[in-house]
Structure 1
Amino acid sequence: MTIQAVMFDFSGTLFRLEQNETWLSDLTDHNGDPLDVEAQAEMMRRMTAPVTLTVDLDDEHRNAWENRDLDPGQHQKVYLEVLRQSGVARVEQAKALYDRLIDPSEWTPYPDTEQVLKTLAGRGVRVGVLSNIAFDIRPAFTERGLDEYVDEFVLSFEVGAIKPDPVIFRNLLDRLGTAPEHTLMVGDSSQADGGARALGCPFALVDPLPTSERTDGLLTALREHSVL
């Protein structure tokens, strides 16, 4: 089956949130002591876990978690609670770290992201980005000149639906103007991104490894589906 369009997930697929040493260096725990390396690593895991809930939440914050990708206010609320439970006692520190999370310029593209997007665009393959997210990721592409290779963005908080709901995939398919069987979905979550299979889209799974460890994951996925 000829692939006429590719839909990409954002986090862990095209880009990854990777902190540098300045992000967490000033964070302190409830006793005012600096967080150790293990605590810092666990915090970043909790901040970037796309599906798995990593802390115990009360009903109010659980509702915020379930709706975080539909409402920016709920997103901030629950992630500040995640940070609090992760040991960041000072609200101003938690807010500063949260601001890093939602700053598109802080996200790092995978080494083969530009090559893949540029090659697809050059071959006339339609490209869409589909993300469960509560902030605008377009600037991450624009700042790096990648926006010219993306035909459509569909973000959950803008359209009121989240993966794996078929509604959000159908939204992007309609914008791209392609049939499901001719549209490949590429993502790092079989549960969320793999929801496209319910509409008949082929699906390629990539591993959300650090960008230094996954240098050609996108290229490999597209070659395996005979897109490149």
Structure 2
Amino acid sequence: MYTHLYSLPSAVETPDDELDAPVPPIEAVLFDFANTLFRMVPTDVFLLRVWQAAGRDVAELDIESLVREVRAAGLLPHVQAAQVGRDLDVQRHREATRVWFGEVPQLAGIVDLAYEAVLAQENWFPYTDTAPVLRALERRGIPVGVVSNIVWDVRRDLEAAGVGDAVRAYALSYQLNCEKPDPRLFLKACADLGADPRRTVMVGDNPAQDGGAVACGLRALILPAEPRTGDRGLDSVLRLLG
């Protein structure tokens, strides 16, 4: 009666003669970018920077009120609808963000400035365990790729953090015109690494997007969706490798 549970759609089928074989060891790792390797500065810090960049008087800023406005606007149905497919290209991302910030009264007149701040390198930083874990994987000879729904080339961020050489492959939504959980992103990264999907793990924070890697035969490690600012818990990957 439970047969249907084993008939879920898959982008990669495991040969029947391998179904009872030992589970292959992990020989490659894919990481999500935002909220996995890097995160944006806290919302209040981001908004304060936007306010200052606009030349507005900080003394007139009620940061708690502005944070509430931004979060409330993000829950509006039409704002959420505008975010669908936003990471397919830069223009769609810009318009989706403009719809969101356009619902924030205190950002009136500086929406475009706020959007540019979303993309600014200075507003993104690596977790404290990003570099140590990437270097540990490098020492073990484990190839690493980044698979991300994003609209800029995140190589700039990894290079700025001094770990650009630790990542060998990138599969970015705006370059491939598809978003996770589309199998093409995971398979492209695996192909570029020369890695067998069944011997690869995808690490991310979004069950629906990053967890989609399992349909390609990968394993998935989903980190808690919490606004951490120190270690992300990426050393879990190293424990998986043994």
* Change beyond 3 A, Cα 1:106–1:14: same
Q: TM-score, normalised by structure 1?
A: 0.82
Gaps of 5+ in 2: 1-23, 55-59
Q: Does 1:222 align with 2:237?
A: yes
Q: Does 1:197 align with 2:197?
A: no
State the Cα distance separating 1:224 from its structure 2 match. 4.4
Pick from 33, 55, 67: which aligns with 2:85? 67
Cα RMSD (Å) of the superposition? Answer: 2.4
- The residue identity in structure 2 corresponding to 1:167 is R
Counterpart CA distance in 1 for 2:94 and 2:25 is 41
State the Cα distance separating 1:55 from its structure 2 match. 2.3
State the Cα distance separating 1:132 from its structure 2 match. 0.3
Q: Does 1:56 align with 2:74?
A: no
Gaps of 5+ in 1: 28-32, 48-52
State the Cα distance separating 1:24 from its structure 2 match. 4.9
Counterpart CA distance in 2 for 1:123 and 1:42 is 47
Which structure would you say has the larger Rg?
2
Q: Which residue of 1 aligns with 2:156?
A: 139
State the Cα distance separating 1:35 from its structure 2 match. 4.4
State the Cα distance separating 1:70 from its structure 2 match. 0.8
Contact 1:24 1:40 in 2 (8 A): no
Q: Which residue of 1 aligns with 2:4?
A: none
Aligned residues: 210
Q: Which residue of 1 aligns with 2:98?
A: 80
Pick from 19, 24, 29: which aligns with 1:6? 29
Q: Report the 3-state secondary structure (helix = DSSP H, G, I; strand = E; otherwise coil) of the residue aligned with 1:217.
A: coil
- The residue identity in structure 2 corresponding to 1:39 is L
Contact 1:88 1:94 in 2 (8 A): no
State the Cα distance separating 1:94 from its structure 2 match. 1.4
State the Cα distance separating 1:145 from its structure 2 match. 1.1
Contact 2:137 2:238 in 1 (8 A): no
Contact 1:111 1:211 in 2 (8 A): no
Q: TM-score, normalised by structure 2?
A: 0.78
Counterpart CA distance in 1 for 2:228 and 2:99 is 28
Q: Report the 3-state secondary structure (helix = DSSP H, G, I; strand = E; otherwise coil) of the residue aligned with 1:16.
A: strand
Counterpart CA distance in 2 for 1:42 and 1:117 is 37
State the Cα distance separating 1:46 from its structure 2 match. 7.7
Q: Which residue of 1 aligns with 2:8?
A: none
* Change beyond 3 A, Cα 1:89–1:106: closer
Q: Which residue of 1 aligns with 2:11?
A: none
- Which deviates more from structure 2 when the two are superposed, residues 80-89 or residues 199-208? 80-89
Pick from 7, 13, 37: which aligns with 2:64? 37
* Change beyond 3 A, Cα 1:223–1:89: closer
